[in-house]
Amino acid sequence: MARRKKLGPARILGIETSCDETAAAVVENGRLALSNVVASQAEMHAKYGGVFPEVASRQHIKVIDTVVEEALAQAHLELGDVDAIAVTRGPGLPGSLLVGLNMAKGLALGSGLPLYGINHLEGHLYSAWVQLGEAATGDPGPQFPLLALIVSGGHTELVLMKDHLHYQRLGGTLDDAAGEAFDKVARLIGLGYPGGPAIQQAAEGGDPAAFKLARAWLPDSWDFSFSGLKTNVLHVVRELTAGQDLQIGEARLPQARQAADLAASFQQAVVDVLVGKTLRAANEFGAAEILVAGGVSANAVLRAAFTAESPLPVHFPPMPLCTDNAAMIAAAGYFRHALTGAADSLDMDIEPGWGLG
């Protein structure tokens, strides 16, 4: 393609504050993470059963200076040693996004470094290119054309990538994202927050065929829907708990085995749809490889299903880079910097509802 050119060396400082993780990282040449620092707020928000936006933005303000300093220190660099700054511009929580963007603007203004506003979803895609320092290898990374599945707490999207920075959105969730469904179902079953790890742990001792749960295939589109599956689980829980009030999500199933079986059945229903639709789309659009990224890409059952069922190579991010992090933002920033050089101005604003493609 016309955009293709030889990629030059560059170190990018990335900053990510789209939700409840305050993160900074330095990535070299879009591949090697020299540092990756994440200050998580998960325990802080657990009592709310989800992210409380005002609490998240206040916590970002408290720790962002320290997180950026630590990222540079771990990389054994000073700000003047990096070539550009990349920051999440959206989508995400407005208050959280503002903290990261303002931090990045201040650093860019003081240093004269170019600044790149990165789409958070684009960052998730580029997480599969990043290698952590101690695990770095010489592999070339994902190859185009790619069929990418972004599956996280806020997004479930199929994206065709024909080259770097080239995105064609094929479909997305019409209601709950897969990760959001994990959180809500975990609350219904009484497993706590965050739901993804809680469901996976409970499901390890369960039978994925114990309950017949809905699978919304939506055969005439590449979109997803998980609200019906969530409602299906709600009805099952009501039957098993003799109709106890589930409004606050504190149901306790009468038997531990029931919780394990229901968690496993729910998890399998989600995995079946994600894998099935992704493989069909990859075949339909002539993809050479598949990329799966986002928080739910850490799920062991999902990874195993893709590995077993895909006739194409499948790429996943390293486990620490599945959830929100700044290394993925720095990697995406590298390709913007190296291939376009089109830095953003210091007056750019956040884009809370920014779509991809």
pLDDT digits (tens, 9 = 90+) for 278-330: 999 999 999 999 999 999 999 999 999 999 999 999 999 999 999 999 999 99
CA atoms within a 13 Å half-sphere pointing along the CA-CB vector of 199: 33
The pLDDT of residue 248:
38
Arithmetic mean of pLDDT over the chain: 92
256 lies in a domain? yes
Please check whether residues 210 and 297 belong to one and the same domain: yes
Please check whether residues 186 and 296 belong to one and the same domain: yes
162 lies in a domain? no
If one counts the domains in the chain, the total is: 2
Residue 255 has pLDDT above 90, yes or no: no
The pLDDT of residue 43:
67
CA atoms within a 13 Å half-sphere pointing along the CA-CB vector of 27: 35
Residue 357 has pLDDT above 80, yes or no: no
The pLDDT of residue 56:
84
Please check whether residues 111 and 183 belong to one and the same domain: no
CATH number of the domain bearing residue 118: 3.30.420.40
Residue 199 — very low, low, confident or very high, per pLDDT cuts 50/70/90? very high
Q: Residue 341: left (phi > 0), alpha (psi -120 to 50), or beta?
A: left
User: Could you give the CA distance from residue 268 to residue 217 in angstroms, rounded to a whole number?
Assistant: 14
Q: Under a CB-based contact definition with an 8 Å cutoff, are residues 292 and 316 in contact?
A: yes
What's the rounded mean pLDDT across residues 69-88? 98
Q: Which residue has the higher pLDDT, 340 or 249?
A: 340
pLDDT in tens, 26-47: 999 999 999 999 997 666 656 6
Residue 250 has pLDDT above 60, yes or no: no
| Range of the structural domain that residue 72 is part of | 11-142+318-339
What's the rounded mean pLDDT across residues 219-225? 96
User: Could you give the CA distance from residue 329 to residue 30 in angstroms, rounded to a whole number?
Assistant: 10
pLDDT in tens, 85-117: 999 999 999 999 999 999 999 999 999 999 999
Element (H, E) at 25: strand 21-28
Please check whether residues 95 and 200 belong to one and the same domain: no
348 lies in a domain? no
Q: Under a CB-based contact definition with an 8 Å cutoff, are residues 263 and 204 in contact?
A: no
Residue 181 has pLDDT above 60, yes or no: yes
The pLDDT of residue 249:
46
Please check whether residues 126 and 175 belong to one and the same domain: no
147 lies in a domain? no
Please check whether residues 92 and 223 belong to one and the same domain: no
Please check whether residues 306 and 330 belong to one and the same domain: no
Q: Under a CB-based contact definition with an 8 Å cutoff, are residues 55 and 62 in contact?
A: no
Please check whether residues 223 and 245 belong to one and the same domain: yes
Backbone CA torsion sign across 329, 334, 340, 344: positive
What percentage of the chain carries pLDDT values higher than 90? Answer: 80
Q: Where are the alpha helices (DSSP H) in the chain?
A: 42-46, 53-74, 94-111, 120-126, 178-189, 195-203, 227-240, 256-284, 300-309, 327-339
What's the rounded mean pLDDT across residues 241-258? 61
User: Could you give the CA distance from residue 53 to residue 351 in angstroms, rounded to a whole number?
Assistant: 16
Please check whether residues 175 and 124 belong to one and the same domain: no
303 lies in a domain? yes
Please check whether residues 332 and 307 belong to one and the same domain: no
Please check whether residues 195 and 246 belong to one and the same domain: yes
Q: Which residue has the higher pLDDT, 294 or 189?
A: 294
152 lies in a domain? no
Please check whether residues 77 and 206 belong to one and the same domain: no
255 lies in a domain? yes
**For the chain, how far is it from start to end, CA to CA, in angstroms?**
18
3 lies in a domain? no
User: Could you give the CA distance from residue 10 to residue 351 in angstroms, rounded to a whole number?
Assistant: 26
